[in-house]
Chains A and B, each alone.
Chain A
Amino acid sequence: MLPAPTRQRILEAAYACVARWGLSKTSIEDVSKEAGLSRSTLYRYFPGGREELIAAVVGWEYDRFFARLYDAVHDATTLEEVLERGLPLAHKAIVDHEVLQRVLETEPELLLPAITVRAEGTIALVAEFLRPYLERHRLAREVDIETAADFLARMVLSYMTAPGRWDLEDPEQVARLVRAELLGGIAPPD
């Protein structure tokens, strides 16, 4: 196997450091040791130094998170199926994400602004993913696909990060959430 390209190697090392010490305690020095690269190499790839590297590693893991989710659900065939499989999987991926949970517990103020500045892109990403499912589905009269995809994406992100009174581990509740609440006005059953 070819060695990972340098940028990738730095990000992997930075992620390992964040997993061990958290966002605020990870230094350029730590990452340089972990990656086995000189500090000057790190600064060549991340001229903004620690701050730029930390932002890059958050973005890198964020992309990987959604890529894993996409891999897990993109073979679903219907709108109902993709939501019913995707919501519990996404929620479980968040709950089981040890690094995310630790950072949310100990230094949420460092992570959340970085995630929420991406929120618009995240909504667009999920909406684009859902759009073909909506296009193939019989929809209620007067449903505008762009608005419906944007709204569904917002709600999917809301429920997967904070399920509230819904138990997403219970398939019956998930089916009720998806078929009744989320799709009741968009794609009602025949």
Chain B
Amino acid sequence: MVGVIGIERPAVAASRPLRRLGTSDRSSQRIRIIDAALASMARTGRFRTSLDDLAASAGVSRATVYRLFPGGREEVLAAIVDTEVARLFSELAVAMGEAADLEAALVAGIVTAARRLRGHAALAAVAATEPGLVLSQLCFGRFDRVLAVASEFAAPFLARWLEPDQAARAAEWATRIVVSYLLTPGRGLLEVTDPDDVAALVGRYVVPGVLALHPPGPGRAGPQRARQSHKEATES
């Protein structure tokens, strides 16, 4: 749900919510309110619930909602986006962190993100009732922001095998693949939630493309090492 409902501060959105997912009373009440709002969005396709209704469905007092979200509905909406991005990223961190090689990390990242986004009930409901709201984050200039946030998050997981610049470009590329196939599944040439389909694409086109990005001049040791270790990994 990266940036879907208007991330204005990408860098902040990427780092801040992770700290909020604690278990203190305050943060669990926050999460209860956010989850109630998500459930309402999944039912109606809109974020129209009043804060009073939200308090009732989350099982907290009105005063608690107003204390936790003094900015009102807009602050709740921003918190929903932050939370869903954090949840996506923490799932991605586990999947990509367990990968044994570059290809596996890219496949895990693409498939995990695609599955979570496609299965996201609130996102699907909002996309059905107000498609422009979702699409405006995934097309043209605003998509550049989504690419920046996603690539900043995912690049460190790929940097185990790549130079930092290569890793950032590879992470951005993977994000483009997820969004292109989710928005336009096409004629069934590739199912972006299917690990075998994605592995074929990544192995054939993405990994060779990323490895060919090694920086010119000195500093080639890194990428060559990456190519070597990738070769070893795929041969073993």
Interface residues of A (CB under 8 A from B): 94, 104, 108-113, 115-116, 119-120, 123, 140, 142-143, 146-148, 150-151, 154-155, 157-159, 161-166, 176, 179-186, 188
With contacts A116-B139, A147-B189 known, is A158 near B211, CB below 8 A?
A: no
Q: Shortest beta-carbon distance, A79 to chain B, in Å?
A: 14
Hey, which chain B residues are within 8 Å of A119, CB to CB? 183-184
- Check if A112 sits within 8 Å of B131, measured CB to CB: yes
Given A112-B131, A151-B201, A161:B143 Cβ within 8 A: yes
* A123 contact set on B, CB distance < 8 A: 184, 186
Q: Check B212 for interface membership: any CB of A closer than 8 A.
A: yes
Query: Measured between C-beta atoms, what is the minimum distance from B85 to chain A in Å?
Result: 18
Contact present for A184 and B186 (CB under 8 Å):
no
Q: Decide if A113 touches B131 in the complex (CB within 8 Å).
A: yes
Interface of chain A: mostly helix, strand, loop or mixed: helix
Residues in B lying within 8 Å of A, measured CB to CB:
130-133, 135-136, 139-141, 143-144, 147-148, 151, 168-169, 172-173, 176-177, 179-181, 183-184, 186-187, 189-190, 201, 204-213
What 7 pairs across the A-B complex have the smallest Cβ distances?
A: A109-B132, A184-B212, A185-B208, A184-B209, A180-B212, A185-B205, A112-B135
Interface of B is mostly: helix
For the complex, what is the distance from the CA of A171 to the CA of B130, rounded to whole Å? Answer: 39
For the complex, what is the distance from the CA of A164 to the CA of B141, rounded to whole Å? Answer: 9
Measured between alpha carbons, how far is A109 from B190 in the docked complex, in Å?
28
Residues of A within 8 A of B140 (CB): 94, 104, 108, 161-162
Chain B minimum-CB-distance residue to A115 = B139
Q: Determine the chain B residues whose CB is within 8 A of the CB of A94 once the complex forms.
A: 140
Interface contact B141-A180, CB-CB below 8 Å: no
* CA gap between A108 and B207 in the complex, in Å: 35
Residue from A158, A162, A165 in contact with B168 in the complex, judged by beta carbons closer than 8 Å: A165
B180 interface neighbour in A147, A158, A165, A181, Cβ under 8 Å: A158
CB nearest to A157 among chain B residues? B180
